[in-house]
Structure formats: structure tokens, C-alpha cells
Structure 1
Amino acid sequence: MLFNNRGNFKKLGLSALLLGGGFLLSKKAIDYLGDKITFSLITRKYDDNLWELTIATQRMTPHVLIENELRSHTNTYIERPIGTKRRFGYWEKILFNMAQLETLPTPDEVEVDTTTVIGPIARKPLVLKIPILIGGMAYGLALTEAYKIAYAKAATRVGTATNTGLGPFLESERKAADKLIIQYPRGSWNKEEKILKQGDAIEIQFGQGANAGKGRTTKAKYINDELRKRLGLKEGQDAVTNNRLNEATNPKDLKSLVEYLRRLTGGVPIGAKIGAGKFLEEDLKILLQAGVDFISIDGAEAGTHKAFPILEDDFGLPTLIALSRAVKFWEKHNLKNKVTLLVGGGLASPGDCLKALALGADAVYLGTAVLIAATHDQIAKVTPFFPPTQLAYETGKY
């Protein structure tokens, strides 16, 4: 037995003494350090006092403070993943009414039909089981192929559609997705007839809420061989997403593009995605004159792979305001059941989605919320030393 051995007993006693002594010393050290810090905080002049930092963080939030430090550390601009830090709080201020006596609840035996039709007057409408879609998130220029396949499988299981985003077309995504919306980008890829014919709908991408009016150049050094091949680029060639769609810079050319895509695809819904801004109604008029079947409106809270913080935080219209203006426009021009209104941008909860639908959206699309949900327990692979995006992004460490 352990205590029958006098030597072991002495060792155990010595260990206990050392542990107790170490605890007391640590306690005294912590107490001494605490006293020193407290004394310096309440006696030193401000210009020599660490408390000055708290004043700085009250004048500038820690977020702004860190971003300014990041700017000072580089000789170029910084780009922030995910999207804006701002929460306008509009959705949280809206609550639903209850049905009980004055209005009775729906009878238990009544089945609620959530079937959603994108492009109801198109030759081949896109019919979904639910009014929630997965928004456009690019393979390669943002996410890994594994994430895109996961999105496609998830969308198929619940009977909705996923979206290619601005990245190149993936055969694997098409195979995994029962319903796939192909984005017609502001870059040079995804425009071959054999690709466009595989879409259940085509979404012409003019802009997004988190990256107002700006293009993007992905340098060749960040493009691996497989991605370069899928983008159709030469070795050393950058991937350029222009700030405008060069083949449709006026209403006449846009109308021609919509008609071309409709003929090419045999009549699947042809739509457009825009960021919401001051001239929202004017933008909508141009799209309607071109004959689109659906319009996706991206509010200022929308996510993105990377963008200038100033574009994410200080441009555009909040999603709720954009939706309200769009719904008024739909009512004024009698567009209900003719042109589908989709909205997205910062929607993160079932309540957000239901409120958007109740206010008049035909369907909503989610981006960042899906990204976070897909990461789920895989986040343990990267935290606490790296952010979750290092798992999801094509250029990530994992």
C-alpha cells in the first residue's frame, strides 16, 4: 500500500507542502500585482495611465480601434469577411399578433401549404416546397467545393434551391442540387451555353448589399490550378469581376440579354440581383422593362466574402426599408403573382424570415446564417487560434 511505504508518505507530504506554498505564493503575487495595477490607475496622470485606453475605446469601439490598427499595419486597403457589424434593430421591434378568440387559430387538420413559385408566368417556373432559398455564395472566389456541395444537398433535402453565386460552375454542385439557380456574373465565366442551359433559373448579378457598386480582382497568385481551369483563365491571369455588367449597361441591351437567356434556357425564370439604394424604384423599373421574372433585393446587412468595411457599414438601404419600398412598388404596379420578389440581407432567424414574408416578400434567401450552420461542430478544427472562415474559404488554412 502507498502509505505503508514511509518514503512515499514523505514524498506525498512534500508535494502537498509545495502545492500549498505555491498557492499561497501565487495568491500573494496576484494580490501584489493587483495592488500595483490599482494604485497606478488611481494615482498616475492620464498621459501615463493605462486607463487612457478605456477612454479611447469609449470614443471608438474596440471594433473600430482594431480595424484602424489593421489599416496602419498595411500599405493597402483592408477587406472584412462576412459583412457589416451594424444591426439596425428593425426586425426585433416587430412582433406578431396572436390568434385565439377574435381571430381563431387555424384548425389542426388544416395543412399549411408553403409551396413557392419563382417566375409564375415563365414557361418553366421554378417550384419550391418552402419560401426560403440559399443565396449566392461563390465557389473558389470564396468557399470550398465541399461547402457548395453541402449547400446543394441541404437545399435538395428540404425542397428548395441553392445558388452558384459569382464563382465558376461546378458539376458536383449541379449533380447534388435538385434545383440550382445559376448566377450570370460580371466576370467572364459561367456564360457558356452548355452551362447556362443547366440552370433551373438564371440570376443576372448587378450588385449586392455589402459591396455597393464595386468590382473585385482576385490576383492570379491566389488562384490554384483547378480554380483557374474552371474560371477559364490563363496562367498568370487575374479573375476580374467588373463593377458593371459590360454587356448590359443600358436598358436596351439588358432587355436583349434577358430575351437571349430566356430563349437559350427554354423558358426558365430569368431574374436579377441588385443591392438596395436610394434609386431602388428606378432600378426596379429598368429591370421590369427588360422583362425579368424575379428580382432579388439585397439589403445593407447582407454578407459577402470580402469587402471594404466602409461599403459594408455606410452604403445602401437596410433590408427592412428596402423590402417596404419594394412591396409598395409591387402593389402600385400590380406585380403580385407576375414577378417574384425575393429579399435577403442579414436575415438570420425564423422570425426574421417570417416577418419578411408577412411584409410582402414572396421568398427570402439566406447566406451567412447558412454558412455558420454548415460549419457547426467543425468549428472545433480551427478555433481558438483561427476564425471559422479559415475552414470555409478556398484559401483557408483548413
Structure 2
Amino acid sequence: MAGLTAFFAAFAGALLAILLAAPLPFLLLKPVFAWMVRRFVKLVMSEPYNENLWEMMTALQHHPPRIVVENALRASSPGVLERPFGSPVKRMDFSGLVFSPAQLSVLPAPESAHVDLRLTIGPAADKPLKLELPILAAGMAYGLGLGERVKIAIAKGTAAVGTATNSGEGPFLPEEREYARYYILQYHSGHWAKEPETLRQADAIEIRLGQGAIASAVGQIRPVSIEEKARHMLQLPDNQNLVLPSRHAEIKRPDDLAKLVDKLRNLTGGVPIGVKLAPGARLEEDLEHIVRAEVDFISLDGGEAGTKAGAPIMEDDFALPTIFALVRAVRFLRERGVKDRITLLSGGGYSTPGRCLKALALGADGIYMGTSLLWAMTHDQVLKAIPWEPPTQLTWGSGMLADRFDEEEAAGRLANFLTSFAEEMKMAVRCLGKTSLKELNADDLVALDEWTGKVTGVRLATEPYR
């Protein structure tokens, strides 16, 4: 007992000594720190601008740090600069819209009411694709972008909640098809993943004409950016770039699209055939050709969309913002009388349940999400990379930490994320006094400013409901 008392006494004494000694370095360094601050302030306040360090502050306001760094990267290498995750430029989005809650004149739905979130892609197709959720995993390429473990995790996570994943423009990964419950195969302008036996494994086929982050630019994927297994699947020499042409060999003029749609429809036995494009000023002209081709769905990828690597000029200065493209496409399809037959999928910048639900109220049938899914499913696995490496080193197929990515954990996180999204959307639908996504429309929204009201056709918050 005496020994135990002596131990605690010694421990308490040591702890007290540490607490008393801790402030000493600060007290000793305080005069030095104060001198440095006074010296710095004096120099800043007295030196002429051309000799003053404060020059950097005003320069960085004229040219933001992002521009300075990107120009420095251009100066370090003569090649095209590649930037991940799309454009950081702020565009008009859905934040100028709010939902109008049901309370008395319109009663909210009971909290126990079932809310129908189901989506049918290609309702007129021989084999329509029926999903439990209107949120889909966007096209993200295996091997050219994401690693095999990440693609399998997305397949498992989407399968768990009854929605679809999209192959992207990479080589066909059999394991992704095996674990995916619903699989959309992207038919791109490259020569790979187009074998009849591959196409017949798809639940839907998406003809890729362009995408929001890179428009229709030719893709030049360097060998260092391609996963080794994917390079063998592509039969690509180690020192050769992979080229994704800007145009399909089968489409030499607009009318050729219809021939390709018919070919794929016949080959696959009637699964939905759609087209993916980046919206531009001639959106309605492009949509007219697509409608004439009798597609089953349209994937519209707005300017806020992400990618593994895109030139800043393509990400920042091409493609209409998502909300503009969505509103114009909905209007066009309704005027043509095909909105109920052709499913409209919208992608580009979606990151919250509210933003997705606003798009659905404006007329989208389903929402593609990419970047947000990656961040959600990676979750605290980012700690395997930071602070010394960016988290993408876990998810890129060519990343130095790709073998440390836990696909089972990520699949569970993704399923949680999508389920949480769905529950929030159900709550919101009930608060609108409705029980199905099909009941939503623009009358459920209010515009907070005139420009948003003009773009979307939604009434202003300053106007009474009529």
C-alpha cells in the first residue's frame, strides 16, 4: 500500500513539474516572436511596393492562386494541362430555387406514407430498365480512370440499393458486370468493349457523343495513367497513348445515328439505347437528331460535370450549365410530344438530395452522380493517403495506393450514402403533400430571384400563388 502511495505521489509530482515547465518555452520565445511581428509590420508599412512582400497579396487578388498554380504547371511542361474533378468555376445552379411546403391549403402526406422513387429507363423499349432509385452511378472508366477495386465497389454498392452503374469509356471489366445488378454499357468512339458478346451483357447501352467536362475533345490517355491490367486488355504497348477519337467511325453525318441505334437495339434484343452528350447552344438541333433516331433515353451532362483529367479550357469554357441544359431539354421533349417515351437523365454537379430533387421537379427523370459518390464511398479511407498524398491515389487505377483500397468497406459506405439520399428525398416528397416522384413538377418550387425564374419558368417568391 505504501509503495502504491509513493507511486501516485511521484506521478503527481512529475505531472505538476510538466505543467509548470510547459509555459517556459513560450515565455522565452515570446519576446522573439513579438520582435519578428513588429519587424514584419514595419517593413510592410514602409517599403515601396516593388520591394514589398505585400505585392504578392494584391497580385493574388488579380490572379487567384488557382490561376497562378495552373500557369506555373503549364510553364513546367509543354503538354496539355490535365485537371481532375471538373471545373471550379461557379456557375448558376439550383440554389436559387426552394420547395414550397405543404401545410394547410395543401396537407403534407402522412409520415407513414410510402413514397415511390422508382425509375424506368426506356419505358417503350422491349426490355425497359427498372430501378428502385432515380440516382445512378455516372460513367467512370475502369483502368483509364478508376481502379478495379473501385469499380467493383460501385457495382456492389449500387446493386445493394437497386440502382445502376455505368461502365464509362474504359475496357469491359467482367467482375464489374458480375457484381452489378443493373449495368449500363457506354458505347464510345474507341475500338474496345464493342464485341457482340460484350454488348449483349448490358441492361442498357449509352452512345457517348460527348460529356460535360471535356465536350467532344479527343482523349489522349498516357501510358502512365492506364492501369496495367487494363493496358493488357486493350492490347496497348507500354509506351503508346490510348486515343479516344472525337467522332464515332459509324457516325459520319447526323442521320447515321439512327442506323447505329437500330444496330444496337437489334443486337441486344431490345434493351434501352440512349445517347450521352454535352449541351451547347445548338442543344435543340442535337436533340432533334436524337429524337429522330428513336432513342429510349438521353443523358445530358452539364458543364459542372467531373472527370479524371480534363484540360481547364474544356472544363471551364465549354458546355452549358446543368440547369440551363435541363430546362431547355425538358421543354423541347415536351413540345415534341416524346417526354413520356424518352427518359431524360441529367448529370453534372449534383451533390445533395435537395439539388437532385429540384432537378426531378423541373423534369429530369433520373440523376447521374460521380464525384460525390467517390468522396462518399472512400470516406475515412482517405486517411490512408493524406496528408502526404491526395486521396485520388487510392481510387485511380494508376494510383500508388490503389492496392490499399478496401472495396467491401467502400461498397457498404456507398450503399449507406445512397440509402440516406433516398430517405431525405422521401421526407421532402411527403412535405410537398405527395407520395411519388412522378407527382413532382415545377409548381412545387419557388424562384428566389428574377434570373432563376426566367431561366426555369418557376414563379417568383414575390408573387402570390395562382
Same fold (TM over 0.5): yes
What SS does structure 1 have at the residue aligned with 2:382?
helix
Over 3 Å counting, the alpha-carbon distance change for 1:268 and 1:43 in structure 2 is: same
The question of whether the paired residues in 1 share the 8 Å contact of 2:212 and 2:277 is answered with yes
The question of whether the paired residues in 2 share the 8 Å contact of 1:187 and 1:239 is answered with no
> Which residue is equivalent to 1:281?
284
Q: Deviations over 1:72-128 (max 9, x none)?
A: 222222110000002224311110001011111123453221111000000000000
The question of whether the paired residues in 2 share the 8 Å contact of 1:251 and 1:290 is answered with no
The question of whether the paired residues in 2 share the 8 Å contact of 1:137 and 1:163 is answered with yes
What's the % identity of the aligned pairs? 46
> Which residue is equivalent to 1:290?
293
Structure 2 CA distance for aligned equivalents of residues 197 and 111 of structure 1: 35
What SS does structure 2 have at the residue aligned with 1:306?
coil
> Which residue is equivalent to 2:243?
240
The question of whether the paired residues in 2 share the 8 Å contact of 1:147 and 1:374 is answered with no
What SS does structure 1 have at the residue aligned with 2:28?
helix
Higher relative contact order (CA 8 A, sep 6+): 2
Structure 2 CA distance for aligned equivalents of residues 12 and 304 of structure 1: 54
Question: Which residue, 111, 129, 149 being the options, matches 2:152?
Answer: 149
> Which residue is equivalent to 2:437?
none
> Which residue is equivalent to 1:95?
98
Deviation at 1:140, TM superposition (A): 0.5
Further displaced range: 19-28 or 348-357:
19-28
Q: How does 1:116-265 map to 2 (within 5 A)?
A: 116-234=119-237, 236-265=239-268
Structure 1 CA distance for aligned equivalents of residues 16 and 97 of structure 2: 65
Question: Which residue, 75, 81, 85 being the options, matches 1:82?
Answer: 85
Deviation at 1:2, TM superposition (A): 7.7
Paired residues, number: 394
Structure 2 CA distance for aligned equivalents of residues 326 and 13 of structure 1: 71
Deviation at 1:239, TM superposition (A): 1.5
Structure 2 CA distance for aligned equivalents of residues 15 and 242 of structure 1: 67
Over 3 Å counting, the alpha-carbon distance change for 1:20 and 1:327 in structure 2 is: closer
Q: Deviations over 1:165-197 (max 9, x none)?
A: 011111110011010000001111110011000
Further displaced range: 260-269 or 27-36:
27-36
Q: Which amino acid aligns with 1:199?
A: A
Aligned-pair Cα RMSD in Å: 2.1
Deviation at 1:225, TM superposition (A): 4.0
Structure 2 CA distance for aligned equivalents of residues 99 and 13 of structure 1: 62
Q: Which amino acid aligns with 2:163?
A: T
Structure 1 spans left out of the alignment, 5+ residues: none
The question of whether the paired residues in 2 share the 8 Å contact of 1:153 and 1:177 is answered with yes
Q: Which amino acid aligns with 2:400?
A: K
> Which residue is equivalent to 1:332?
335
Question: Which residue, 319, 323, 327 being the options, matches 1:316?
Answer: 319
Structure 1 CA distance for aligned equivalents of residues 72 and 242 of structure 2: 29
Structure 1 CA distance for aligned equivalents of residues 242 and 72 of structure 2: 29
Q: Which amino acid aligns with 1:203?
A: E
Over 3 Å counting, the alpha-carbon distance change for 1:289 and 1:12 in structure 2 is: closer
Structure 1 CA distance for aligned equivalents of residues 22 and 374 of structure 2: 47
Q: Which amino acid aligns with 1:54?
A: M
Q: Which amino acid aligns with 2:382?
A: I
Structure 2 spans left out of the alignment, 5+ residues: 1-5, 402-466
Q: Deviations over 1:306-348 (max 9, x none)?
A: 0111111111100000000001101101112201111010011
Q: Which amino acid aligns with 2:90?
A: R
